[in-house]
A and B are shown apart, each in its own frame.
Chain A
């Protein structure tokens, strides 16, 4: 029998996250391993009066593409992809595949060439999402590959994913609406703050956030969700931070990252494992050493680190600080082709201060609570 949580997930994605309306042209992207969710979402979109289409990827194809493609083939952008980017009303990205390391042997230059040729299209895609003319949601279908990365069996991982999405509740949409309201209240408070200071083991780092907007992430663009973020003033970061969780980017892990900031810029970066990679990423371009995002993870149904940013950055009581590009809606102005979310486990031994007063201790906010 099909897992009833898959149908519930599809309903939430279509009715709440994407809010599909009659006549919407909706694309579903996902790997065939996610077939059950792709089908369930397809059905829900039809029921909502939308026009669903699917772009399903098959196992091993992207590996073969990068292995065999010539420069011309790498840079080819199908006209259909451009058309979809400009005309879709909604786009659902379903993550999860067969092997999270499928592309780790591919020459990074080939990946970069292909990415560069799609940049114009990708920028239009982001712009349409930003202006609200394209509704987008990214989610994950539980699969063995992600489960293995999380060091869980598939059934444990399914429980983890669906609990994080509140799909074990009778009315998940109502539960997410409640999250949204609670976070909106806290956002109003955070918007009054001028400074944020994070203090804890090997960490004392301050930011100026005055005039920036905090954004309520309540299950619309990511599912599951549970995050409140802003873009701090670009030259304001002062002090240092140590990350006890591994920092993961492009499928690579860097352990025990220590960063020191002066006038907003990373002036020293150390790590126990993967320090070369960390340095290379920080040297990617002139914006890569500046902070683009400062955020609270607010999903207290997520407690375990699973090596997947979709979940890790939302762990309730943690904070993440991304080096690289800002998200413009927060008022952040940092430009970079890097956006590396590094999650700091502020649940143990950390106090976070707003305008000099404690606002979160050991992962518990003093003015904000989401009933679980």
Chain B
């Protein structure tokens, strides 16, 4: 029998995240281990009258292509992939691999050839999404590989994932609507704020957010979600911040990051672990030393770091700042080849908005 939490997850994605309507073409991209979720989603999507179609992903075949393929083969993009992106009304991407390191040994230059060839598809995807023609959702099916990465058994990890999605509760959609309303309250408040000051151990950082838009990420584009974010004014960050939640960048673990900002720019940076990776990321391009995102993680169903940014950046009681590219919908103008989310536990932190305390010890007080 299927885990009832998987059924709830499929139904929540269908009826809440993607809100499928009759006749909508829904593309599902998923690895084979995620098939139990895909099957339930397929059934739920059919029930709404939508037109689901599934493309399974095979990382071990990608590995073969990247190892053995000529540049011409790497650049080949099936015409049907292009058609999918141009015509589907919704896309669900399900992560769920058997081995997270399948492409770890591939020359990054070869990966870049493939990425470049698929760039027009990504552009079409982003444009259609921006125009509201395409609804997209990214989710995670619990597998042993992700559990192992999180340092957990599969059973504990499945509890973690379904808990983060509120799918361990009888009516997840009601829970998501509740979270959405609460987050909207913070968004409405933050949209009238000019400056934010973050304080805590080793931290005193001020950013300007006046005129920028805050986005309510409430379980639609990411499932689970639970964050509100904006793009701070590019040249505004001043002061120091320390990040205590380990993050991965290009699958390298980096821990204990300390950044000193001056006029928006990272003037000094150190990491207790992975310092080389941090320095090279900061030097990626001209704008990689500037902030692209400032966000509050508000999913209190996510209580621990699992080396997976989909969950880590939503941990209730954290904030995260990203260096590099910002999201245009927030008003951010920062453009960069990187976007690196760095996460800070705010258990012992405070945030002031325009001089008034608004957030203490991991919770908003407005």
Contacts and interface: CB of A to CB of B under 8 A. Distances in A.
A59 B33 CA distance: 14
A156 to B, nearest CB: 5
B105 A145 contact: no
A311 B190 CA distance: 54
B144 A99 contact: yes
Given A144-B145, A145-B145, A148-B149, A273 B273 contact: yes
B101 A99 contact: no
Given A98-B144, A147-B99, A103 B153 contact: yes
B63 interface: yes
Q: Chain B: interface residue count, which band?
A: 20 to 34
Contacts of B325: none
B292 to A, nearest CB: 28
B144 A145 contact: yes
A151 interface: yes
Contact of A153 (B99, B148, B156, B255): B99
Given A148-B100, A151-B101, A153-B101, A98 B152 contact: no
Name which of A60, A150, A153 has the most chain B CB atoms within 10 A of its CB.
Answer: A153
B154 A152 contact: no
A60 B60 contact: no
A272 B151 CA distance: 20
A283 interface: no
A60 B149 contact: no
Q: Chain A: interface residue count, which band?
A: 20 to 34
A99 B154 CA distance: 8
A102 interface: yes
A277 interface: no
A99 B60 contact: no
A153 B153 contact: no
Interface majority SS on B: helix, strand, loop or mixed? mixed
A369 interface: no
B104 A104 contact: no
B100 A60 contact: no
Contacts of B50: none
B104 A153 contact: yes
B155 interface: yes
Contact of A150 (B101, B103, B251, B272): B101
Interface in B52-75: 59-60, 63
B102 interface: yes
B98 interface: yes
A63 interface: yes
Interface string A41-67: 000000000000000000110011001
A252 to B, nearest CB: 9
B147 interface: yes
Contacts of A156: 105
Contacts of B255: 273
A100 interface: yes
B147 A101 contact: yes
A241 B150 CA distance: 31
A102 B273 CA distance: 26
B335 to A, nearest CB: 31
Given A144-B98, A144-B145, A148-B100, A153 B151 contact: no
Contacts of B60: 153-155
Contacts of A105: 152-153, 156
B138 to A, nearest CB: 21
A254 to B, nearest CB: 13
A98 B152 CA distance: 12
A153 B58 CA distance: 12
Contacts of A64: 155
Interface string B273-307: 10000000000000000000000000000000000
A154 B101 CA distance: 9
Contact of A148 (B101, B152, B154, B156): B101
B152 A153 contact: no
B126 to A, nearest CB: 29
Contact of B148 (A59, A101, A151, A152): A101
A104 B154 CA distance: 11
Contact of B101 (A102, A103, A104, A147): A147
Nearest to A102: B153
A147 to B, nearest CB: 5
Nearest to A144: B99
Contacts of A153: 59-60, 63, 99, 101-105
A291 B150 CA distance: 33
Contacts of A101: 147-148, 150-153
Interface in B132-151: 144-145, 147-151
Interface in A79-132: 98-105
Nearest to A255: B273
Nearest to B106: A153
Contacts of A63: 153-155
Nearest to B102: A153
Contacts of A104: 151-153
A153 B59 CA distance: 9
A99 B145 CA distance: 7
A99 B148 contact: yes
Contacts of A255: 273
Contacts of A102: 147, 153-154
Nearest to A63: B153
Given A99-B154, A154-B98, 11 more contacts: A60-B154, A67-B155, A99-B144, A101-B147, A101-B152, A102-B154, A104-B152, A104-B153, A105-B153, A144-B145, A153-B103
24 contacts: A63-B153, A98-B144, A99-B145, A99-B147, A99-B154, A101-B148, A101-B152, A102-B147, A102-B154, A104-B151, A104-B153, A105-B152, A105-B153, A144-B145, A145-B144, A145-B145, A151-B105, A152-B104, A153-B59, A153-B60, A153-B63, A155-B60, A255-B273, A273-B255
Interface of A: 59-60, 63-64, 67, 98-105, 144-145, 147-156, 255, 272-273
Interface of B: 59-60, 63, 98-105, 144-145, 147-156, 251, 255, 272-273
The 3 A-B pairs of least Cβ separation, nearest first, read A144-B99, A99-B144, A153-B102
